[in-house]
Structure 1
Amino acid sequence: MSITAPPTSGSPAPPRAGGTILRPFKAPSKSKADWLEPAILAAKTITAAAECAPFPYIKGISGTVLILLETVVTVKKNREDLEELCNSSTEIITILHDQVKTHGNTAAVKFKSLCEELESYLKAVILAIQNLQDESKGFRGRVKEFLKSSNLTDEIAGYQTQIQGLMAIVETNFKVNEIHAIVTAPSFTVVKGVENINNCPPPSRIFQGRQAILDKMHQFFDTDSENQHIYVLHGLGGAGKTQIALKFIQESSFSDVFLVDTSKVETIETGLKSIAVSKSVGDSAQDALMWLQSNHNKWLLFFDNADDPKINLNDFLPKCNHGNLIITSRNPEIRSYGAYTFVSDMEKADALTLLLRRANKESSEENLKFATEIVKGLYNLPLAIVQAGAFISKSEDLEGYLALYHSNRVKLLSEKAAQSHDDYAQTVFTTWQISFNQLSHLAATFLQLCSFLHYTGISEDMFSTASKYDFLPWLPPREELQEPLEFLSHFLGPTGEWNSLKFLDVTTEIKAYSLISFDAKTKLFSIHPLVHAWSRSTLSDEQPLQSCMSSILGMCMSKIPNHEMTLASVQVIPHIILLKGANPDGVADFGRVFWKIHYSAGKFKDAQGIAQQVLEKSQLLLGENHPDTLVAMGNLALIYSELGEFQKAKELLVLEKYTKLLGEDHPETLIAMGNLASIYSKLGEFQKAEGLEVLVLEQCTKVLGEDHPRTLLTMGNLASTYSDLGEFQKAEKLQVLVLEKCTKLLGEDHPSTLLAMDNLAQTYSALGQFQKAKELQVLVLEKCIKLLGEDHPNTLLVMGNLATTYSEVGEFQKAEKLMVLVLDKCTKLLGEDHPNTLSVLGNLASTYSELGEFQKAEKFMALVLEKRTKLRGKDHPDTLLAMGNLASTYYQLGEFQKAKELEVQVLQKLIELLGEDHPDTLLAMSNLSSTYSGLGEFQKAKELRVLVLEKRTKILGEDHPSTLLAMGNLARTYSDLGEVQKAKERESSKEAIILH
């Protein structure tokens, strides 16, 4: 059949071949008794005509209206109350019949979604009327109440308005497409003289961006014209796949363009049939495929919404080596048909432009500021941006949208705008709901469980490890874990082993709708942030699934060995934080596991709260002297130590209780001894720390073996204590051994290996091997950032140590920049009074001093001294270090008397605490000698400098930078005293010359 050009405006449309056009039905008003008869007759005529049309949804809505009318016939009294509803419904199907007869598939595609939605709505109305009739009395009152409460009249009128709006679009598109076909017709003759077809609507009038994808598509279709081209656009619903395809089609020249709704087998067959009919080659899908296979013109077949994974699309593809196809799908498996692009969120600049255009707002500086935050909150998802713009256009409140969105997300992303710029009938949330409704119960439950996790970093290991849960006495018993155990059982084999294939089946089902993504490289799943938020909204009661997911995480992490906990906790802590946000009390049952996760991730404050709850519960249920209570006390002590509350930590670790209740060789006793030794070290009691650590190391080696992670940790702690005591050669020897063993047993990227590497680097620095230390610390920092993130305490420790090394090698600008960053992070993470924060602040002050910014240095050093005196006491080594640093700044400022008063105190205290040979004591001695020189007391300076040089030569060797510095200082003192010959002797050495 040929296509006749539409009439000009104002003239009636001529009838088309295949049926008579029915004008909108108007019920006669002369008789209330017979108004239903013509309505039923019209509905029957339309339904009969629809039986012959290849559009099942027109048939469906027509048949439903007929059932509605026949249901109203059975109403015995007060039938007129339903008259307006019936007349409007009949008018609607009459209009639909008219449009489809006039414009065929062009109209059918437009009205499809609306027909299906209206059909579903009217079925609910029919059921409600039938239920009302079943009641015995008061029908009229109930009908009126029903009509009023349901707003039936308004709803039907709304549907009618939408249909009339679509009519105008269909008429416009039909004219445009016919004109386009005539203007762009190629020079060759079209088969059987049929005009070219383009039944695609234009892209949205506010289409924005996507240029990279469009360029890629043009390049693909413009090359290798001898072969069939298939291009797949796949991705999440609402990402803009269809719009990109329509924009590409608009920019291209094809002999024919055929749009086929691919959401169902029926719609595919209907679309293909319409091709056959329009080209007068038959009336079946097979006829269309045969015509496409035989037609070597530049045709394009556009399969839109190929989302159903159960449909084998290959059954409907033309089997030939020519032609062009575009497929849009949520199913990533469709990629196998050809070239493809994953369509995700928009570029930021395009998203901003789209939002402002849809919101009818100009691109002012102020509007761009608000728009930037909005598109960020919507994660640059096109459909969400269009909906937000529509709402802003209506409310005219760009500034207030984001706050409204955060408190009404579900409503705003489910609301369809009255005015639209394209034919997409779904909203953000409803488009995903359609996919969600196709999932099996198990797949839907899995997606809902994941909504309580962070939207990235979801792994199969979380679930498989949880399935191996051990029912230990201090963990929740089987009866408390029925729901998670039942869920996990779906993925177990006959003998209870984890079955990855079953897990893959479920995740593949969800991936088929792009509701979840998988990274094959990292083996991690992720969910689009908006899908993640929406999936939570599908729950009527969150608590059971939140509790189930919390338990699964607890079951999983209970299986992680202590030496693997740091890395595992960094990966899982975002999930724990989100779970706690959903229900703060939901993680209590696994308190013994969750405190360790927070501790290992560096979240010490959170760890403290959980560990405190565990201890209180254990004291209440088991008593003060139960082994479990003792372990809980030790855990809390460990956290207090990390928070810098060393005295509190020390009071909780009563070794006598451990020895009495558990025995001196018990692993928990050894852990407690090691933790107490660490606290002694932090309190400046290095000799006590050394004695305990030597004992723990012997016992660990004996009980656990020399390669056990606990043994290696103890060895590393002892090495650090040797460093604190100034015995750097001992420390180096032990640290090299620890690093070798950690690398061999745990791998070079394990957190324990990296910590061992950093400890060795610090010892290199203490030994004056600064370049060696720097190279090692740069490597460690890179690995820590990658593994643990920038904000983990271990990363900050390494960062701070590297900054100190930069200072040692004279790279003060680098040191300052890094220390400022570390100080900011430590203050936020640990608090401004934490020992680590104060150490960084002190180091930054020293760097300012090196840069000549002495006023800044004095201010910071005075603050550090004040805080350390208050927190640690005036005799603590760290306090004395702060006092010495402040004295050095006074010296730089020329305030020698102030410097001397402080330095005399510092030297006396350090000799008492650490002895005359400790590096810190010798540093204090050297600083005081410089101050004596500044005051002109050269003899006092000489006596101290001779002593410092002797001791440094003996302890550090002749070539150590500190020894060379002492040599140069003594030479200068000889010069000050007029002992020229002695000064020359010192200055004649190579080292002294280099130093000068």
Structure 2
Amino acid sequence: MILHKQILAHANIAVKFKAMCEELESYLAAVILAVQNLHNPSQGFRKRVKEFVGSSNITDEIAGHQKQIQGICFKLKLLAAVDTNFKVNEMHAMMIAPSFVVTPPSQSINNCPPPSRIFQGRQTILAKMHKFFTPDSGKQLIYVLHGLGGAGKTQIALKFIRDSSANFSDIFLLDASTLDTINTGLKNIAVFKFVGDSAEDALIWLQSKHGDWLLFFDNADDPKINLNKFFPQCNHGNIIITSRNPGLRTYGDHSPVSDMEDKDAITLLLQSAAKESSEENQFLMVEQELFHLPLAIVQAGSFILQSEDIAGYLTLYQKNQARLLSEKAVQSHDLYAWTVYTTWQISFDRLSQLAATLLQLCSFLHYSGITEDMFSNASKYSFPVWLPAKEELQEPLQFLSHFLGPTGEWNSLRFSEVTNEIKSYSLITFDAATKMFSIHPLVHAWSRNTLVDEAASHLCISCLLGMSIAEIPDHDRTLASLRLMPHLGALSPFNAGRGAGFGAAFSYLYLSAGKFTEAQNLIEHTCEKYRLVFGEEHLATLEAMYRLGLTYSHLGEYKKAKELEVTVLEKRTKLLGEDHPGTSMAMGNLAATHSKLGDFAKAKELEVMVLEKRTKLLGQDHPDTLLAMGNVAVTHSELRDFDKAKELELTVLEKRTKLLGEGHPATLLAMGNLATTYFKLGDFEQAKQLEVTVLEKRTKLLGEGHPDTLLAMGNLARTHSELGDFEKAKELEVTVLDKRTKLLGEDHPDTLLVMGNLATTCFKRGDFEQAKQLDVTVLEKRRKVLGDHHPDTILAMRNLISTYRALDKLMEAAELEQLVRQIQMSLVTE
């Protein structure tokens, strides 16, 4: 239409103009033929691109194109000289505009494609962007959209541009993936605006033009490119940047682009699969498997559209995740060229070898809660005799050596440099508040596919985690278990621990987390192995036996625990001496088992010895000394010396609060013990006050199902019962009983303790029949597990006697009373 208009307006030069047009037509035909050859479907796309890029005469061809364009432009200028009314700029724009589509000069220029036809959600980010880009701000406005590849950054930017294009005088899209593409994009602006033919010309024009132009730097993912060099240095204009590099936040306001909201993700999946909302429930399961990642959702929708089988996709995905996330459908809703896995591979290929290795190792851990101290603690591994030696840990030690200073100390700066490199591609994220790293679950799964030797990497990270756990002080193991248990679960520690030789270290962490059966599986295997390899007298075997005894004690198998602990104490005393910390530790565990068996006098004797030795060796304020003091206090309480118990417990609580803080598990243990002493002294209000605090803090810190939390809940219930609040007491006791039964089993002493407390509450409420049923069960199981002479068994007998009397079952009560007298007489004789 423009050509026709110009011919009519300039008839006197029509002949020359016709010749020029024929030349232009011939040139365009040659360009079109070249493009058609590139898109020739008879060859694979990769092969066609490879041939095109690898062509030896490509530079000559480009030069030829440039020369022809320049020749045509020169002829146009000659025509302009003949007829000064000829509009050269208009014709120039026609020839070089993208896809040869002419934009009338009176309108803004926008070379951005539209957003996806099925764009969904992101309203929070879009609203923030609309608010940010206010006209006449008096300064240059820069907005950064950053996040993982495939999260939808470009689509958000295109959606914003389409909805607000009227606010900008010109809109320019720049491919910011490389220096060359940025320079090319800026050159195109200069040529397009007829202000020159270089990137500098474009920047000068943007700086001088006081309009609300918008530059869109898309895919600015290379952290080595200083993007500021390509910003017009002026106080006007607008810039949008999409990047995987969160470091670009430094340029202005920003929004992290992560996973979609549930509702938006479901809608996107339904639309990409061309399905009705009536099938939403099935699509919800698919969407959850894809962790709300937009690109993965679109790929899944395309597959479901072809297969027409929603349920079948889930089955296929669980077995073929890598393949399904690597394939792109032929039909698409936008111009994005990459699949989920290929877009991450592009970033991964840019990582240094050390950064890539760290990411791959982390792919075996849980995808969240990864911390620097997991690795720094491993670097401090002291090679204890019961755990793997240096010769067995060459690969993990070699990995850690990259983060060590000249004298072997941990180099936190070096670790930060490596993690920052991974963060710059959003393959890992960091929470400054918790000091924890996390990996998107799909990236987490994908990164394992980048491994050449998966078994070797799995063994390496298992060793690193075992080395780290081995260096955690005893008083910090409960807190450490909260951080590390998910990683142990991800590693399948039963197998990993065996293969790496860190079963003993892993088992100890399981004990701290209250997972006693898992700990037993690991430590029994380790103990058997050490007996065969080292013999009964070796320190490694004794350490394994020590930990196995501790495990049996937690499982309520006190007699088996005592048998092992006696052996360990005797052999450690012989090998290490009476004053060695290992000997003291064995003595303390044996004392605790005596206490659980009801032999409080023997427990006190051993505990006093441990306290004296630790005070002399470690000092009065050492955590291990305070642990021993707390144990002595509990035994005083069991022996009804409540005043002495209270005195010691107040000291322990004060020192632990000062040393470890109010919320530390060891501090809460001291507070709970003091509450129990107050309870036994009859000061129920004071006991309740402390128990409420302990329960609240343990629930928040350890979770509702942790054994220590359940102990606090049971103690509070018992106090409620004494204060006459039977309904509240029963409610808590029923909860504790249910959870302890599932966690520990019906016959565990701790389960029977809360069952007995529930029976007492039922008795006080007047529900004697319910109390009798519970009392009978408790007595039968305690006689079987603990024996007739245990104090808890005798207590169960006395409770049942009271219940029999309340039910007028006097004969049964008398028979049981006779049995109690016989047991007490035998105890006096002993």
| TM range, smaller chain | 0.7 to 0.9
Query: Which TM-score applies when normalising by structure 2?
Result: 0.85
Partner residue, 2:607: 693
Question: Does residue 1:392 correspond to 2:400, yes or no?
Answer: no
Partner residue, 2:393: 481
C-alpha distance in 2, partners of 1:553/1:104?
60
Shift of residue 521 of structure 1? 2.1
Cα pair 1:883 1:902 within 8 Å, conserved: no
C-alpha distance in 2, partners of 1:743/1:847?
34
Partner residue, 2:551: 639
Equivalent in 402, 414, 428 of residue 314 of structure 2: 402
C-alpha distance in 1, partners of 2:510/2:674?
27
Question: Does residue 1:464 correspond to 2:376, yes or no?
Answer: yes
Question: Does residue 1:291 correspond to 2:205, yes or no?
Answer: yes
3-state SS of paired residue (1:21)? helix
Shift of residue 565 of structure 1? 2.5
Partner residue, 2:813: 900
Equivalent in 429, 432, 438 of residue 350 of structure 2: 438
Alpha-carbon distance change, 836 to 880 in structure 1, aligned in 2, over 3 angstroms:
same
Shift of residue 556 of structure 1? 2.2
C-alpha distance in 2, partners of 1:759/1:661?
35
Alpha-carbon distance change, 203 to 891 in structure 1, aligned in 2, over 3 angstroms:
farther
Partner residue, 1:425: 337
Shift of residue 880 of structure 1? 3.6
Shift of residue 597 of structure 1? 2.1
Residues 376-399 of structure 1 show CA distances to partners (whole Å, capped at 9, x for unaligned) of 222211112222222222222223
| Residues 570-589 of structure 1 mapped to structure 2, 5 A cutoff | 570-580=482-492, 583-584=495-496, 587-589=499-501
| Residues 53-64 of structure 1 mapped to structure 2, 5 A cutoff | none
Letter in 2 for 1:908: R
Question: Does residue 1:329 correspond to 2:232, yes or no?
Answer: no
C-alpha distance in 2, partners of 1:369/1:725?
61
Partner residue, 2:152: 240
Question: Does residue 1:309 correspond to 2:223, yes or no?
Answer: yes
| Residues 891-970 of structure 1 mapped to structure 2, 5 A cutoff | 894-897=807-810, 900-901=813-814, 904=817, 908=821
Residues 502-541 of structure 1 show CA distances to partners (whole Å, capped at 9, x for unaligned) of 2121111111100111122222211111111111111121
C-alpha distance in 2, partners of 1:859/1:394?
62
C-alpha distance in 2, partners of 1:764/1:806?
14
Equivalent in 280, 283, 286 of residue 374 of structure 1: 286
Question: Does residue 1:21 correspond to 2:13, yes or no?
Answer: no
Alpha-carbon distance change, 490 to 834 in structure 1, aligned in 2, over 3 angstroms:
same
Shift of residue 869 of structure 1? 3.2
Equivalent in 697, 706, 709 of residue 795 of structure 1: 709
Shift of residue 706 of structure 1? 2.9
Structure with bigger RCO (C-alpha 8 Å, 6+ apart): 2
Partner residue, 1:346: 260
| Residues 629-708 of structure 1 mapped to structure 2, 5 A cutoff | 629-654=541-566, 655-708=569-622
Shift of residue 752 of structure 1? 1.3
Alpha-carbon distance change, 697 to 502 in structure 1, aligned in 2, over 3 angstroms:
closer
C-alpha distance in 2, partners of 1:836/1:229?
64
- Where does the alignment leave 5 or more consecutive residues of structure 1 unmatched? 6-12, 28-38, 55-100, 108-170, 183-192, 916-996
Partner residue, 2:739: 825
Equivalent in 385, 389, 404 of residue 492 of structure 1: 404
3-state SS of paired residue (2:655)? helix
| Residues 141-220 of structure 1 mapped to structure 2, 5 A cutoff | 193=105, 195-220=107-132
3-state SS of paired residue (1:400)? helix
Shift of residue 263 of structure 1? 0.5
C-alpha distance in 2, partners of 1:652/1:317?
73
Shift of residue 874 of structure 1? 4.0
Letter in 2 for 1:790: E
> Greater CA deviation, 672-681 or 853-862?
853-862
Cα pair 1:15 1:21 within 8 Å, conserved: no
Partner residue, 2:362: 450
C-alpha distance in 2, partners of 1:506/1:807?
57
Equivalent in 662, 671, 678 of residue 757 of structure 1: 671
Cα pair 1:261 1:303 within 8 Å, conserved: yes
Shift of residue 268 of structure 1? 1.1
C-alpha distance in 2, partners of 1:744/1:854?
47
3-state SS of paired residue (2:145)? strand
Cα pair 1:476 1:589 within 8 Å, conserved: yes
Shift of residue 871 of structure 1? 2.2
Shift of residue 751 of structure 1? 1.8
| Residues 243-258 of structure 1 mapped to structure 2, 5 A cutoff | 243-252=155-164, 253=166, 254-258=168-172
Residues 378-422 of structure 1 show CA distances to partners (whole Å, capped at 9, x for unaligned) of 221111222222222222222333333222111111121222211
Partner residue, 1:560: 472
Partner residue, 2:425: 513
> Greater CA deviation, 701-710 or 285-294?
701-710
C-alpha distance in 2, partners of 1:776/1:240?
51
Partner residue, 1:84: none
Cα pair 1:289 1:318 within 8 Å, conserved: yes
Alpha-carbon distance change, 49 to 624 in structure 1, aligned in 2, over 3 angstroms:
closer
Alpha-carbon distance change, 404 to 868 in structure 1, aligned in 2, over 3 angstroms:
farther
Letter in 2 for 1:743: T
Cα pair 1:888 1:899 within 8 Å, conserved: no
C-alpha distance in 1, partners of 2:799/2:506?
41
Partner residue, 1:944: none
- Where does the alignment leave 5 or more consecutive residues of structure 2 unmatched? 6-20, 38-50, 67-92
Residues 620-664 of structure 1 show CA distances to partners (whole Å, capped at 9, x for unaligned) of 233223344333222211110001111111111224444444433
Alpha-carbon distance change, 856 to 213 in structure 1, aligned in 2, over 3 angstroms:
farther
Shift of residue 558 of structure 1? 2.4
C-alpha distance in 1, partners of 2:610/2:682?
30
Alpha-carbon distance change, 729 to 324 in structure 1, aligned in 2, over 3 angstroms:
same
Larger radius of gyration: 1
C-alpha distance in 1, partners of 2:26/2:214?
27
C-alpha distance in 1, partners of 2:589/2:64?
84
Question: Does residue 1:842 correspond to 2:750, yes or no?
Answer: no
Alpha-carbon distance change, 498 to 704 in structure 1, aligned in 2, over 3 angstroms:
closer
Residues 934-980 of structure 1 show CA distances to partners (whole Å, capped at 9, x for unaligned) of xxxxxxxxxxxxxxxxxxxxxxxxxxxxxxxxxxxxxxxxxxxxxxx
Equivalent in 258, 270, 276 of residue 356 of structure 1: 270
Partner residue, 1:138: none
C-alpha distance in 2, partners of 1:230/1:17?
42
Letter in 1 for 2:290: L
Letter in 1 for 2:366: H
3-state SS of paired residue (1:20)? helix
Letter in 2 for 1:644: G
Residues 280-334 of structure 1 show CA distances to partners (whole Å, capped at 9, x for unaligned) of 2222222222222222232211111110001110111111111111111000110
Cα pair 1:260 1:302 within 8 Å, conserved: yes
C-alpha distance in 2, partners of 1:2/1:225?
38
Cα pair 1:848 1:857 within 8 Å, conserved: yes
3-state SS of paired residue (2:463)? helix
C-alpha distance in 2, partners of 1:405/1:902?
67
C-alpha distance in 2, partners of 1:370/1:851?
49
Cα pair 1:877 1:910 within 8 Å, conserved: no
Cα pair 1:580 1:586 within 8 Å, conserved: no
Residues 177-228 of structure 1 show CA distances to partners (whole Å, capped at 9, x for unaligned) of x7xx77xxxxxxxxxx464211112111111111111111111113662222
Cα pair 1:105 1:271 within 8 Å, conserved: no
**Percent of counterpart pairs with the same letter?**
60
Letter in 1 for 2:689: E
Alpha-carbon distance change, 223 to 767 in structure 1, aligned in 2, over 3 angstroms:
farther
C-alpha distance in 1, partners of 2:282/2:497?
36
Residues 26-71 of structure 1 show CA distances to partners (whole Å, capped at 9, x for unaligned) of 99xxxxxxxxxxx99xx999975544669xxxxxxxxxxxxxxxxx
3-state SS of paired residue (1:457)? coil
Alpha-carbon distance change, 495 to 703 in structure 1, aligned in 2, over 3 angstroms:
closer
Cα pair 1:16 1:102 within 8 Å, conserved: no
3-state SS of paired residue (1:231)? strand
Cα pair 1:728 1:767 within 8 Å, conserved: yes
Cα pair 1:2 1:278 within 8 Å, conserved: no
